[in-house]
């Protein structure tokens, strides 16, 4: 079992590999990500500390405080009844996804390829809440607060992130109470969480109970130093770096994952091999995907499905005929700005964030 307090919901996560962490963290294998909407048993779990106790949504309240004219305190039922309810499909990805493959290694949760999923998120627009509260001209950033606590310092929050006010007012940013058309599970932040499409998962605060509007960049727990921040100029392993040169991650890079065939596959030389998966990005749309079966020596273009919702992932597929022998499949996505996944490793950084190097799947034609 992944944790001494594992409950029925955790036990139902049948496709997850549990990480060797004090916090409850688990990811699925890449082939479990094959459905368009990632199923509950395969959706990754990410925690920075102790999860709060299960809460009755009827008693949960969300306070809106800070740089607003009219502070609010709303129940989940009042949220549903007082504001337009909207649904969007969006990819949620941990900033550390792929950290295990960074060279040289860095500390932190050793995610492989599975700390990502795509879901339908239902809730109310954060913009509507803030318009009701009356955002002051001094508003610069949000601060997200929740009752999960640090594992090492129990009187401190585990995490308190935030987003620029412009993103808070963007139409895709939600305070959500449903995931894939079901009430938001506790493991994924229920009763309320923030949904910030295009941003790293750290910004998607779970168990949201207070939305504080700040007159400066939020300085909550794991919002400063190197936490969920990248160097503005390249950093090199072993060399000193200036914390002032780090900036908050506000955009996820273009990326892809092969979901078919699964790692360790066996294929016949008499049949074409179909390679499929998903491609996604943050603010800049995906342009195209290419696939290699020989470790990057040669490439073939993949078919990419028409874009649907802006922050959902897009299906790609390619059909290859291969000779007998070992196969090293790779998929490389590119966005409309020309940014492509690195063939080997993304630029190194001391926390191992945003490693969008190409996904590799090994198998054999025989």
Residue in this structure with the two tokens 């200036």, named with its chain if needed? 242
65-97 tens-digit pLDDT: 999 999 999 999 999 999 999 999 999 999 999
Is 195 in contact with 174 (CB distance < 8 Å)? yes
- For the chain, residues classed under CATH 3.90.420.10 are 8-248
Question: Sign of dihedral through CA atoms 139, 140, 144, 145?
Answer: negative
Structure tokens at 342: 């690195």
Is 143 in contact with 165 (CB distance < 8 Å)? no
Per-residue pLDDT at 1 exceeds 50: no
Residue in this structure with the two tokens 């001494």, named with its chain if needed? 4
* Gap between the Cα atoms of 85 and 167, Å rounded: 19
* Gap between the Cα atoms of 206 and 200, Å rounded: 13
Helix, strand and coil content of the chain, in percent to the nearest 5, comes to: 10, 35, 55
Is 206 in contact with 45 (CB distance < 8 Å)? no
Asked if CATH classification 3.40.50.10890 holds for the domain at 255-365, the reply, yes or no, is no
Structure tokens at 68: 């607003």
168-227 tens-digit pLDDT: 999 999 999 999 999 999 999 999 999 999 999 999 999 999 999 999 999 999 999 999
* Gap between the Cα atoms of 150 and 141, Å rounded: 23
Instruction: Collect all residues with Cβ–Cβ distance below 8 Å to 244 and sequence separation of at least 6.
Output: none
Is 331 in contact with 359 (CB distance < 8 Å)? yes
Confidence of residue 344 (pLDDT cuts 50, 70, 90): confident
Instruction: Determine what percent of the chain is predicted with pLDDT higher than 90.
Output: 96
Per-residue pLDDT at 2 exceeds 50: no
Phi-psi region of 61 (alpha: psi -120 to 50; beta: other; left: phi over 0): beta
Bridge partners for 164 per DSSP: 141
Per-residue pLDDT at 99 exceeds 50: yes
- For the chain, residues classed under CATH 2.60.40.650 are 255-365
Q: What is the pTM of this model?
A: 0.96
State the pairing for strand pair 303-304/273-280. Answer: unpaired
269-295 tens-digit pLDDT: 999 999 999 999 999 999 999 999 999
Of 264, 360, 358, 311, nearest in space to 118 by CA: 311
Other CB atoms within 10 Å distance of the CB of residue 308: 12
pLDDT value, residue 354: 97
Residue in this structure with the two tokens 């190194």, named with its chain if needed? 348
CATH architecture, domain 8-248: Alpha-Beta Complex (3.90)
């Amino acid at each position: 079992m992944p944790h001494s307090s594992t409950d029925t919901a955790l036990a139902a996560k049948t496709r997850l590999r549990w990480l060797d962490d004090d916090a409850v963290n688990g990811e699925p294998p890449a082939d479990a990500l094959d459905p368009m909407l990632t199923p509950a048993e395969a959706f990754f779990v990410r925690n920075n500390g102790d999860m709060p106790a299960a809460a009755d949504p009827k008693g949960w309240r969300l306070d809106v405080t800070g740089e607003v004219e009219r502070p609010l305190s709303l129940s989940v039922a009042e949220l549903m009844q007082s504001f337009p309810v909207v649904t969007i499909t969006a990819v949620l990805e941990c900033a550390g996804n792929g950290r295990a493959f960074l060279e040289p290694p860095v500390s932190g949760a050793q995610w492989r390829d599975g700390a990502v999923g795509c879901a339908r998120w239902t809730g109310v627009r954060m913009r509507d809440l803030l318009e009701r509260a009356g955002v002051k001209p001094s508003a610069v950033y949000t601060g997200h607060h929740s009752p999960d606590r640090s594992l090492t310092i129990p009187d401190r929050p585990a995490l308190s992130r935030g987003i620029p006010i412009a993103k808070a007012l963007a139409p895709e940013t939600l305070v959500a109470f449903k995931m894939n058309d079901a009430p938001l599970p506790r493991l994924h932040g229920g009763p309320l969480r923030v949904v910030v499409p295009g941003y790293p998962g750290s910004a998607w605060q779970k168990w949201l109970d207070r939305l504080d509007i700040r007159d400066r960049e939020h300085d909550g727990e794991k919002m400063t130093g190197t936490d969920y921040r990248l160097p503005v100029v390249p950093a090199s392993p072993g060399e000193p770096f200036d914390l002032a040169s780090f900036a908050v991650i506000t955009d996820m890079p273009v990326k892809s994952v092969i979901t078919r065939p699964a790692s360790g596959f066996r294929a016949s030389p008499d049949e074409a091999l179909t390679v499929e998966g998903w491609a996604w990005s943050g603010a800049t749309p995906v342009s195209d995907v290419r696939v290699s079966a020989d470790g990057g020596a040669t490439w073939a273009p993949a078919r990419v499905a028409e874009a649907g919702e802006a922050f959902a992932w897009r299906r790609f597929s390619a059909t290859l005929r291969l000779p007998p022998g070992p196969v090293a499949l790779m998929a490389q996505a590119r966005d409309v700005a020309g940014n492509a996944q690195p063939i080997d490793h993304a630029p190194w950084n001391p926390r191992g964030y945003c490693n969008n190097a190409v996904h590799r799947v090994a198998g054999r034609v025989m």
